Structure 1
């Protein structure tokens, strides 16, 4: 199994456990993501985004509302003002030894380790939008993410992620 950590820093020799800003109830850990979900991190670090997937048992109305006109099973929506930053970004994908990690959230593909972890390799990544589109993911832009967040939270979609929402523009 391949596990990764994405960063805006290119010189990390050792990942040390730390408390995540939005998970202060947890002990310090090192976070990793599996290959199947890595695309959720093909963005600059602070870029807010909403990722959602066709869900089992999703209401027909929600299927039309959220996926109408798209043959993709995954949709990522980002605020429009992030377009240039995403287009020009270079991020760094660190490959981590999977034996050091335990599964934290299967739906999101998150793994954690309470031990410091030395990366196996680092790969710079550019052309992030192309990478996303090559995976047949529907990438959308909107002036503001608040309406979509409320719509998803009040829908029958069960497989979604709301990333870095503290960085959205105020309504």
Structure 2
């Protein structure tokens, strides 16, 4: 499930939204109100239940041989065992939008945002089997007991990476992990 050229997607477990209005997300690190969406490259980051913590890593042109070997694939998504059943059972929907009102967000861009209300191009589309989507896209899905070792490894690597909803991950040495996370966010930010 990816957007067509000239489109961006928003993923949701709610199939009843008819108009998206800018808002400040509860997890926002910026004060501005946005409607959030993703492009073709970042769509797989959201093939998960909304609250599912995940670590995403991929090979970049600048990734060194050691990190390529450790990753063992061109792109890997990791989730915790405690979330696997929810990944398998969630009913996820994709809303398609014309990309024109959206602009890239982040450096490098990891999302697209609109500052005005937008309406989807049509009814939300069921995303379907999330494990099958990963397989079809050639993305290795790893299931781990705890995300923090994976997060520490990718955050210190030459890989491209993202951590989403990590506050929902199993807490292991919570104080240390929070410090690692804040340091990595500052380095990327």
- TM-score by length of structure 1 reads 0.91
Corresponding residue for 1:147? Answer: 149
SS in 1 for 2:93: strand
Counterparts of 2:118 and 2:48, CA distance in 1 = 23
Residue in 2 that maps onto 1:41: 46
Is contact 1:37–1:108 with CA below 8 Å preserved after alignment?
Answer: no
1:123-159, Cα deviation, whole Å (9 max, x unpaired): 01221110111111111100000111111111122x2
Residue in structure 2 matched with residue 112 of structure 1 by the alignment = 113
Partner secondary structure for residue 6 of structure 1: strand
Q: Provide Cα deviations, 1:85-142, integer angstroms capped at 9, x if missing partner.
A: 1111110100012111111147554110110111112101221110111111111100
**Is the 8 Å Cα contact of residues 108 and 161 (structure 1) preserved in structure 2?**
no
Measured against aligned partners, the alpha-carbon deviations of 1:41-78 in whole angstroms (never above 9, x if no partner) come to 111110011111112222222222222xxxx3111011
Highest RCO, 1 vs 2 (Cα 8 Å, sep ≥ 6): 1
Q: Which residues in structure 2 correspond to 1:87-98 (within 5 Å)? A: 87-98=88-99
What RMSD over aligned residues (CA atoms) do the two structures have, in Å? 1.5
**Contact 2:155 2:161 survives alignment (8 Å):** no
Is the deviation greater in 14-23 or in 136-145? 14-23
Secondary structure of 1:3's match? strand
What TM-score do you get using the length of structure 2 for normalisation? 0.83
Q: Structure 2: how far apart are the matches of 1:40 and 1:94?
A: 15
- Return the match for 2:129 from 104, 127, 130: 127
Contact conserved, 1:44 with 1:85, CA < 8 A, in 2? yes
For residues 158 and 52 of structure 2, the distance between their equivalents in structure 1, rounded to whole angstroms, comes to 25
Residue-pair matches, total: 166
